[in-house]
């Protein structure tokens, strides 16, 4: 009897075990299916978002502001005063989207059109090939490696003051050419190099230069080169020297042998000295064009000549607190002295100086509101014989500028 | 003309002095161990602020940082190793 009961109990357990295992299998099978479906969906989603070889993005910047100025012009002891104020000119209104297109990890296309001065222009348009770890080859419409201001510091969301230092960016051409550049580690220091060959600048009939000609005006290429040296391991100091050499006269013109030799020296020092961040920038440009005979604009039968020597330089210092509350840490004060001397006895000669001070408030790391005051003095050294002399000009300008990078 | 030659000579001399000083001060064309050991965060803090404020890692996507890293290498002429470390740091800190 006992044996029979054990047999019945055994059979019951077997049946229950089979039933339970089937129920469990069904349940677990359902769970697996849900997880698998979810995994498949995630995998598909990840595949859609998986980076490809190419990547395209739009960055860029815009600058907007207000400027109010008072100008006193004195000629022959007689002064005249004029006042202006206008939107949106805080030195330069600019809306410049920058298109970056990366093809794999070797090619980068950069294109920055710009709406400024009531018109459209192009800041740069080039293709870079990252040939070796520290060798980049570029071609296209390039900002030439002459000093550092135009290439690195001029953007409104980078510059600490609302205005550009006179002459500095103007003396850095953007031109069609090819460029080789890179940065090199050198023990605890670094070097960087940048060499460009371009069509070169063109000498105009008044002795000034223009650039960016798509057809070379003299079939003689201009070489521009800069070497930068960072002597400290923390990269706080960079010293640079640049040169630009080439013929500038039109082929077949009276100036066809005219050459332009330009030099630039730049300094950049950024370091934290608690409780402040100190930022010093400086650049000095020299431009020499061989002496030529130009046609007198008032009498085409007469020629005139002058020493075509131009200099431009600035020193800028800014300070930002590093140890303060979040509100105070966003303030930055800046000051700059600029000198710009254009050749005397020409039609445009002048000795110009400006002192610029400013207070900035950084809304984010790339968004700034600037209040800038600039006092400018210009003494004409233009030729009185050419009727170009216009005395002394003093201008005081207040700028309020907003700039953002996106 | 003498003035031009003199400026030319000064520039050339400065370039030579820079290069010789650089080469004479080091043992080779490679970073020291201390420099090579720098983290992406340290390089980000040191190099970006040379021109502009240090960027927030959250400002761009990982893909965008790759592209911006290449753009910044052409502008600031940081080394390739620096760029890679800085971009890795920015991507991982988002």
Say how far apart CA A284 and CA B23 lie, in whole Å. 26
CB contact (8 A) between residue B28 and residue A187:
yes
Say how far apart CA A297 and CA A292 lie, in whole Å. 15
Name the percent of chain A lying above pLDDT 90. Answer: 71
Residues A256 and A218: beta-carbon distance below 8 Å: yes
The beta-carbon neighbor of B8 closest among A261, A309, A365 is A261
B44 to chain A: which residues are within 8 Å by CB? none
- State the DSSP string of A215-239: S-SSS--EEEEEEEEE-STT--EEE
Mind listing the pLDDT tens digit for each residue in A329-377? 999 999 999 999 999 999 999 999 999 999 999 999 999 999 999 999 9
CB contact (8 A) between residue A241 and residue B11:
yes
Say how far apart CA B54 and CA A270 lie, in whole Å. 12
For residue B1, is pLDDT > 50?
no
The beta-carbon neighbor of A184 closest among B7, B14, B79 is B79
DSSP H helices, A146-293, are: none
- Selection from A45, A41, A241 nearest residue B12 by Cα: A241
A192 to chain B: which residues are within 8 Å by CB? 77
The beta-carbon neighbor of A108 closest among B28, B63, B70 is B70
Residue A228 pairs with which residues in a beta bridge? A192, A240
For residue A65, is pLDDT > 60?
yes
Model confidence at A250, pLDDT cuts 50, 70, 90, reads very high
Say how far apart CA A328 and CA A362 lie, in whole Å. 10
Between B26 and A179, the more confident residue is A179
Helices B62-76 and B80-92, packing angle to 10 deg:
150
Residue B92: both structure tokens together: 């991982």
Whole-number pLDDT of residue B10: 66
Count CB atoms within 10 A of the CB of residue A155. Answer: 19
Model confidence at A14, pLDDT cuts 50, 70, 90, reads low
Q: What is the mean pLDDT of chain A?
A: 90
Whole-number pLDDT of residue A93: 85
Which range has the top average pLDDT, A116-120, A276-280, B16-20?
A: A276-280
Residue of B nearest to A194 (CA): B77
B10 to chain A: which residues are within 8 Å by CB? 263
Lowest mean per-residue pLDDT among A213-222, A253-262, B13-22: B13-22
Whole-number pLDDT of residue A406: 86
Say how far apart CA A236 and CA A220 lie, in whole Å. 38
Q: What is the mean pLDDT of chain B?
A: 84
The average pLDDT across B51-73 equals 95
A233 to chain B: which residues are within 8 Å by CB? 32, 34-35
Residues A165 and A149: beta-carbon distance below 8 Å: yes
CB contact (8 A) between residue B64 and residue A57:
yes
CB contact (8 A) between residue A186 and residue B55:
no
Say how far apart CA B53 and CA A319 lie, in whole Å. 13
A137 to chain B: which residues are within 8 Å by CB? none
Whole-number pLDDT of residue A27: 53
Residues A194 and B77: beta-carbon distance below 8 Å: yes
A190 to chain B: which residues are within 8 Å by CB? 79
Q: Which residue has the tokens 């002192």?
A: A355
Whole-number pLDDT of residue B27: 46
Instruction: Please give the helix or strand (H or E) that residue A134 lies within, else none.
Output: none
SS3 A160: coil
Gap from A47 CA to chain B (nearest CA, Å): 15
The average pLDDT across A104-120 equals 92
Q: Which phi and psi angles does A166 have, rounded to 5°?
A: -55, 135
Instruction: Please give the helix or strand (H or E) that residue A22 lies within, else none.
Output: helix A2-49
Model confidence at A1, pLDDT cuts 50, 70, 90, reads low
Gap from A73 CA to chain B (nearest CA, Å): 34
- Selection from B35, B70, B41 nearest residue B56 by Cα: B41
The average pLDDT across A297-316 equals 94
Contact pairs from chain A to chain B, CB under 8 Å: 149
For residue A25, is pLDDT > 60?
no
Residue of A nearest to B17 (CA): A229
Gap from B51 CA to chain A (nearest CA, Å): 6
CB contact (8 A) between residue B29 and residue A185:
yes
Instruction: Please give the helix or strand (H or E) that residue A334 lies within, else none.
Output: strand A331-342
For residue B2, is pLDDT > 90?
no
The beta-carbon neighbor of B74 closest among A138, A193, A265 is A138
CB contact (8 A) between residue A238 and residue B50:
yes
Residues A38 and A31: beta-carbon distance below 8 Å: no
Model confidence at A6, pLDDT cuts 50, 70, 90, reads low
Q: Which residue has the tokens 């075990």?
A: A17
CB contact (8 A) between residue A366 and residue B78:
no
Beta strand ranges found along A87-201 (DSSP E)? 94-103, 107-116, 119-132, 135-143, 174-186, 189-198
Please name the residues in contact with B17: beta carbons below 8 A apart, sequence gap of 6 or more: none
CB contact (8 A) between residue B50 and residue A268:
yes
For residue A41, is pLDDT > 70?
yes
Residue A82: both structure tokens together: 């004029």
Predicted complex ipTM = 0.85
Whole-number pLDDT of residue A222: 93
| Pick among 3.50.50.60, 3.10.180.10, 2.40.160.10, 3.40.50.2300: CATH of A2-405 | 2.40.160.10
CB contact (8 A) between residue B4 and residue A189:
no
Model confidence at A328, pLDDT cuts 50, 70, 90, reads very high
Say how far apart CA A145 and CA A193 lie, in whole Å. 9
Using DSSP bridges, classify how beta strands A309-321 and A367-380 pair: parallel, antiparallel or unpaired: unpaired
Residue A350: both structure tokens together: 């002048």
A29 sits in the region (left: phi over 0; alpha: psi -120 to 50; else beta) called alpha
Residue A186: both structure tokens together: 């050198």
CB contact (8 A) between residue B25 and residue A187:
yes
Query: Is cis: bond before A88, omega within 30 of 0?
Result: yes
Residues A367 and A38: beta-carbon distance below 8 Å: no
Count CB atoms within 10 A of the CB of residue A77. Answer: 6
B64 to chain A: which residues are within 8 Å by CB? 55, 57
Mutation for A interface: B50, B63, B91, most A CBs within 10 A: B50
Mind listing the pLDDT tens digit for each residue in A166-208? 999 888 889 999 999 999 998 899 999 999 999 999 999 999 9
For residue B26, is pLDDT > 50?
no
Whole-number pLDDT of residue A145: 96
Name the percent of chain A lying above pLDDT 70. Answer: 91
Which range has the top average pLDDT, A43-47, A153-157, A217-221?
A: A153-157
CB contact (8 A) between residue B35 and residue A286:
no
The beta-carbon neighbor of A270 closest among B14, B30, B50 is B50
* Intra-chain end-to-end CA distance of chain B, in Å: 58
The average pLDDT across A86-94 equals 75
**Residue A110: Cβ-neighbour burial (10 angstroms; 0-12, 13-18, 19+):** buried
Residues A266 and A165: beta-carbon distance below 8 Å: no
Model confidence at A76, pLDDT cuts 50, 70, 90, reads confident
The average pLDDT across A234-249 equals 95
Residue A102 pairs with which residues in a beta bridge? A55, A108
CB contact (8 A) between residue A152 and residue B76:
yes
């Amino acid at each position: 009897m006992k044996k029979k009961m054990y047999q019945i109990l055994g059979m019951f357990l077997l049946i229950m075990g089979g039933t339970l295992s089937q129920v469990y299998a069904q349940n677990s099978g359902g769970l697996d299916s849900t997880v698998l479906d979810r995994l498949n969906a995630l995998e598909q989603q990840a595949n859609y978002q998986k980076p490809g070889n190419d990547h395209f993005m739009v960055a860029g910047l815009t600058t907007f502001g207000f400027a109010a100025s008072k100008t006193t012009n004195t000629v022959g002891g007689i002064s005249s005063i004029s006042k202006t104020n206008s939107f949106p000119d805080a030195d330069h209104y600019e809306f410049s989207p920058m298109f970056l297109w990366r093809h794999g990890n070797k090619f980068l296309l950069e294109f920055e059109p710009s709406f400024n001065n009531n018109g459209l222009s192009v800041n740069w348009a080039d293709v870079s090939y990252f040939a070796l770890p520290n060798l980049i080859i570029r071609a296209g419409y390039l900002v030439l490696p002459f000093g550092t201001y135009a290439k690195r510091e001029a953007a409104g969301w980078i510059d600490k003051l609302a205005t550009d230092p006179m002459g500095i960016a103007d003396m850095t051409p953007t031109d069609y050419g090819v460029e080789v550049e890179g940065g090199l580690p050198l023990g605890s220091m670094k070097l960087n190099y940048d060499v460009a060959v371009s069509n070169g600048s063109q000498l105009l009939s008044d002795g000034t230069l223009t650039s960016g000609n798509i057809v070379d005006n003299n079939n003689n290429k201009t070489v521009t080169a800069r070497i930068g040296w960072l002597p400290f391991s923390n990269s706080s100091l960079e010293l640079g020297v640049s040169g630009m050499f080439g013929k500038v006269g039109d082929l077949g013109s009276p100036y066809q042998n005219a050459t332009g030799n330009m030099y630039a020296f730049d300094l950049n020092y950024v370091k934290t000295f608690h409780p402040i961040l100190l930022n010093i920038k400086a650049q000095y440009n020299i431009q020499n064009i061989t002496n030529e005979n130009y046609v007198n604009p008032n009498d085409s039968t007469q020629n005139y000549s002058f020493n075509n020597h131009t200099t431009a330089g600035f020193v800028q210092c800014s300070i930002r607190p590093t140890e303060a509350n979040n509100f105070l840490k966003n303030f930055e004060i800046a000051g700059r002295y600029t000198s710009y001397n254009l050749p005397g006895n020409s039609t445009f000669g002048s000795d110009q100086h400006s002192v610029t001070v400013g207070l900035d408030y950084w809304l984010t790391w790339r968004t700034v509101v600037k209040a800038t005051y600039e006092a400018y003095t210009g003494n004409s050294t233009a030729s009185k014989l050419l009727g170009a002399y216009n005395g002394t000009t003093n201008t005081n300008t207040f700028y309020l500028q907003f700039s953002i990078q996106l | 003309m003498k003035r031009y030659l003199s400026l030319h000579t000064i520039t050339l001399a400065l370039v030579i002095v820079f290069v010789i000083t650089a080469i004479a001060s080091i043992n080779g064309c490679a970073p020291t161990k201390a420099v090579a050991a720098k983290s992406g965060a340290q390089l980000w803090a040191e190099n970006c602020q040379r021109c502009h404020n240090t960027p927030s890692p959250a400002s761009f996507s990982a893909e965008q940082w790759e592209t911006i890293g290449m753009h910044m290498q052409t502008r600031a002429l940081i080394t390739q190793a620096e760029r890679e470390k800085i971009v890795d740091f920015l991507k991982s800190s988002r």
